[in-house]
Structure 1
Amino acid sequence: MYELKTKENDKSVIEFIENVDNPKKREDAYKLLDIFKETTGYNAKMWGPSIIGFGSYHYKYESGHEGDAPLVGFSPRKAKISLYFATGDPHREGLLKNFGKHTSGKACVYINKVADIDVEILKALIEQSVTFLQEKYPNH
């Protein structure tokens, strides 16, 4: 049976951020912590060893695979900061047009630093992602 590696745990978010090597990235992680917490209304929790997540939802795919994941989150990685939003949200691309300097993958949006992006659009992306997931997976 497939075991999900990224599970919510009780590790300290602050301790994790304090262990980020790069002082600028650490500072950005605290900024993001405030923005995500304020925008979602959820407290930050560690998911796996390196993702700071907010809220959670339970998903089940047609394949039968199911699990829990944070509604939104971020991770101050060595190369870039990963921002986690809902996959499949049709409104995300429109918001990203004026977001600022970023690259994006299927679920992640990657930024170098908070100064490169529009924080108001970040808040809209967070809100949109939470709404999208709560509508798609209403039973959690």
Structure 2
Amino acid sequence: MYEQKTKETDASVIEFIEAVDSPKKREDAYRLLDIFTETSGYEAKMWGPSIIGFGSYHYVYKTGHEGDAPLVGFSPRKAKTSLYFAPGDHEREALLAKFGKHTSGKACVYINKVEDIDIEVLQQLIKQSIHFLRKTYPEN
């Protein structure tokens, strides 16, 4: 049976951020921590060894695969900082068009530094993602 790799842990978010090598990435991580906490209304938790997540939801796919994941989150990776939002819909794509310098995948948006992005659009992306996931996967 499939074992989900990325699970919520009891690891310290602050200790994780303090272990980030780059002082600039560490500073950005603290800034994102404040923005995500304030905007989402959820306390930061570590998910797996390197994702800082906010809130959680339980998903069940049509295939029967199910698990838990953070509603939104981020990870200060070596190359770029990954931001985790719900997979794309039209509203997300419209927000990303105004977001600033980034690249994106299905659920991840990658930034070099916080100065490259529009903080108000980031806050809208956080709210939009939470709303989308709560609507798609209502709590039982």
Query: What is the SS of the residue equivalent to 1:74?
Result: strand
Aligned ranges 1:99-118 → 2 under 5 Å: 99-118=99-118
Deviations 1:31-89 (A, max 9, x none): 00000000010000000000000000000000000000000000000000000000143
Structure-to-structure mapping, 1:1-140, within 5 angstroms: 1-139=1-139
Where 2:26 maps in the other structure, the secondary structure is helix
TM-score normalised by structure 2 residue count = 0.98
* CA RMSD in angstroms, aligned pairs only: 0.7
Q: 8 Å contact 1:8–1:47 — kept in the other structure?
A: yes
Instruction: Give the paired residue count.
Output: 140
SS at match of 1:91: helix
CA distance in 1, matches of 2:80, 2:88: 22
User: Counterpart amino acid of 2:94?
Assistant: G
Q: Which residue identity is paired with 1:58?
A: H
Sequence identity percentage: 77
Q: Spell out structure 1 runs of 4+ moving beyond 6 A.
A: none
